[in-house]
């Protein structure tokens, strides 16, 4: 039998320090070795008890969770799972703490003070196990978001996207997405839709944080949002996101369908929709996360002739999702985290000039046969038919959000 996962529970609430260990005791592979009422006590207990994983409440007196996390990461880095509240302040603190090195977070139920933690029990146990496996994994460099007002982004002409890029991501996603999107320039000619496994109430704050740190326009998606070049849409928590081709423009559509693979939102739902609607011009990217959500959808994009990519396992916090797709042969390319943005910009970021099309054609040796055919067709833009298509494709459309 493998060694049990040693957990230290840090929370200023005496009730939480009683309930959380009781929940974790249900799993025989987890052992709560101690509790602490604030950060100062926690740091002493870490030295004394040597836990494998720490659960950390962010809102505590004396030494709060943020300062505690900074000191943990500075002195002896450990996997940390955060407890966060459903509030604007709680959401902001959570994403800041993830950037400092926390592995993941669990949202406290709104009635947690009444002792109701049942709804997060399985989630907390699963995340502690993932955190233990992620120990020692190097996180992407933090992208510092300054609290000072940022210059307003310039208004760009609303144009249809060159490609529709769908990204599925879970554990380790907030840092990875911030790292990737911050490297993509404002004149990016494709649109990006993202399914990030995240509780309801946090995705709006997450989208705002991403919008602050990158040149692209980032929003939490709403039904009817147009798919535009340079726009990034984050699927809201507890909803599914799909795409539709409509007379007034290609757009995002949200649904309340049942969970898929245990998730809502689900990457599979988005990927299947993108494959069906866009086929050859679809791009699927599966990144860090536990489980296998998105693998079959990535296979659908590949079967439709689109480009599929998986983040390399060694650069993931948790490699379950991309690994599942790689093992099934659904990934055309396997790319490390620090190469994802460069690949997207090089192949789908610029205007389709003749020079760029030739470069793409020469560098696309790993693409499917259908996708190679699409890239070669792009080279014949001097023909009358393609000139006509190009004029239609680049006609400005309304950028107003419904």
CATH code where residue 235 lies: 3.40.50.180
Class of residue 208 by CB neighbours under 10 A (exposed 0-12, middle 13-18, buried 19+): middle
In whole angstroms, what is the distance from residue 100 CA to residue 69 CA? Answer: 7
CATH of the domain at 122: 3.40.50.2300
Task: Tell me how many domains the chain contains.
Answer: 2
Give pLDDT, residue 396.
Answer: 44
96 shares its domain with 233: no
Give pLDDT, residue 361.
Answer: 36
Could you say which of 57, 197, 272, 312 is catalytic? 197
46 shares its domain with 107: yes
Q: Is 293 a catalytic residue?
A: yes
pLDDT confidence tier of residue 398, bands split at 50, 70 and 90: very low
199 shares its domain with 249: yes
Give pLDDT, residue 26.
Answer: 92
The answer to the question of residue 148 being in a domain is no
185 shares its domain with 300: yes
- For residues 98 and 69, is the Cβ–Cβ distance under 8 A? no
The answer to the question of residue 140 being in a domain is no
What does the pLDDT average to over 231-244?
97
Reported as a single tens digit per residue, the pLDDT across 198-230 is 988 899 999 999 999 899 999 999 999 999 999
Could you say which of 11, 84, 104, 170 is catalytic? 170
237 shares its domain with 369: yes
112 shares its domain with 170: no
Domain span including residue 126: 5-133
Closest of 216, 353, 197 to residue 288, by C-alpha: 197
Give pLDDT, residue 282.
Answer: 98
323 shares its domain with 373: yes
Give pLDDT, residue 201.
Answer: 85
113 shares its domain with 169: no
Strands (E), 213-352: 217-220, 231-234, 240-246, 249-255, 282-286, 307-311, 333-335
Could you say which of 293, 295, 312, 347 is catalytic? 293
Reported as a single tens digit per residue, the pLDDT across 20-30 is 999 999 999 99
pLDDT confidence tier of residue 85, bands split at 50, 70 and 90: confident
Does the pTM surpass 0.85? The reply is no
Q: Is 27 a catalytic residue?
A: no
180 shares its domain with 282: yes
Residue 384 has pLDDT above 70, yes or no: no
254 shares its domain with 320: yes
HSE toward the beta carbon, residue 172, CA cutoff 13 A: 31
95 shares its domain with 186: no
- Picking from 133, 148, 175, the residue at the C-terminal end of a domain is 133
Q: Is 13 a catalytic residue?
A: no
Q: Return the structure tokens found at 135.
A: 């120990």
Residue 327 has pLDDT above 70, yes or no: yes
The answer to the question of residue 149 being in a domain is no
191 shares its domain with 54: no
């Amino acid at each position: 039998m493998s060694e049990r996962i040693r957990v230290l529970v840090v929370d200023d609430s005496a009730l939480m320090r009683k309930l959380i260990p009781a929940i974790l005791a249900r799993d025989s592979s987890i052992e709560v070795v101690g509790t602490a009422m604030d950060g100062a006590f926690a740091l002493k207990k870490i030295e004394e008890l040597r836990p494998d994983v720490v659960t950390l409440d962010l809102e505590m007196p004396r030494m709060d969770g943020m300062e505690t996390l900074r000191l943990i990461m500075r002195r002896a880095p450990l996997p940390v799972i955060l407890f966060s509240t459903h509030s604007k302040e709680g959401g902001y603190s959570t994403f800041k703490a993830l950037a400092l090195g926390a592995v993941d977070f669990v949202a406290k139920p709104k009635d947690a003070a009444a002792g109701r933690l049942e709804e997060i029990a399985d989630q907390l146990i699963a995340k502690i196990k993932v955190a233990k496996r992620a120990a020692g994994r190097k996180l992407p460099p933090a992208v510092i978001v300054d609290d000072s007002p940022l210059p307003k982004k310039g208004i760009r002409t609303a144009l249809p996207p060159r490609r529709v890029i769908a990204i599925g991501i879970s554990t380790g996603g907030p840092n990875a997405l911030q790292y990737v999107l911050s490297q993509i320039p404002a004149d990016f000619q494709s649109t990006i839709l993202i399914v990030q496994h995240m509780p309801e109430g946090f995705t709006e704050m997450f989208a705002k944080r991403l919008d602050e740190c990158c040149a692209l326009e980032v929003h939490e998606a709403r039904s009817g949002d147009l798919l535009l070049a340079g726009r990034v849409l984050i699927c809201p928590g507890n909803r599914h996101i799909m795409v539709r081709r409509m007379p007034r423009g290609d757009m995002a559509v949200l649904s309340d369908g049942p969970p898929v693979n245990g998730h809502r939102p689900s990457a599979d739902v988005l990927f299947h929709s993108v494959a069906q609607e866009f086929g050859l011009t679809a791009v699927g990217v599966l990144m860090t996360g536990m489980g296998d959500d998105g693998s079959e959808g990535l296979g659908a994009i590949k079967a439709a002739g689109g480009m599929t990519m998986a983040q390399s396992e060694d650069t993931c916090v948790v490699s379950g999702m991309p690994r599942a797709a790689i093992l099934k042969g659904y990934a055309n390319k396997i790319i490390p985290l620090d190469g994802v943005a460069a690949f997207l910009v090089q192949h789908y970021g610029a205007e389709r000039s003749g020079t760029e099309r030739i470069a793409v054609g020469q560098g696309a040796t790993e693409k499917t046969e259908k996708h190679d055919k699409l890239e070669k067709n792009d080279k014949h833009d001097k023909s009358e038919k393609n000139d006509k298509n190009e004029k239609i494709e680049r006609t400005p459309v309304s950028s107003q959000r419904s």
